[in-house]
């Protein structure tokens, strides 16, 4: 992911002007990286190192989403709706 795309995601999901590390921003960045690795895995089925990285990222995103759902349900619902994670 290049710096411009990352800055765009941060500006889209930040809560305040100086925010770069809130849960929403972290989940959005992880989702973008997961989507990139998913496309890579579709073309390279036997790339087991990338598969392990993908699984670690999915687990990290799941933990962050669980934390957010326990802290503030409204922010959690808004985030999953914006990212289109759950149906």
* pLDDT tens digits, one per residue of 47-73: 999 999 999 999 999 999 999 999 999
Q: Decide: 61 and 24 in contact? Cβ < 8 Å.
A: no
Q: How far apart are CA 10 and CA 28, in angstroms?
A: 8
Superfamily of the domain at 23-83? S15/NS1, RNA-binding (1.10.287.10)
Nearest CA to 14 out of 28, 34, 2, 33 is that of 28
Give the ranges where the chain is alpha helix by DSSP (H): 3-13, 23-43, 48-71, 73-83
Between 19 and 30, residue with greater pLDDT? 30
The mean predicted confidence, pLDDT, of the chain is: 94
Domain ranges of the chain: 23-83
């Amino acid at each position: 992911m290049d710096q411009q795309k990352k800055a765009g995601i941060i500006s889209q999901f930040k809560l305040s002007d100086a925010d770069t590390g809130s849960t929403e921003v972290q989940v959005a960045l992880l989702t973008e990286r997961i989507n990139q690795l998913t496309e890579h895995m579709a073309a390279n089925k036997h790339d087991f190192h990338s598969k392990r990285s993908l699984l670690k990222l999915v687990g990290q995103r799941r933990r962050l989403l669980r934390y957010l759902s326990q802290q503030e349900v409204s922010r959690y619902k808004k985030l999953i709706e914006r990212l289109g994670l759950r149906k």
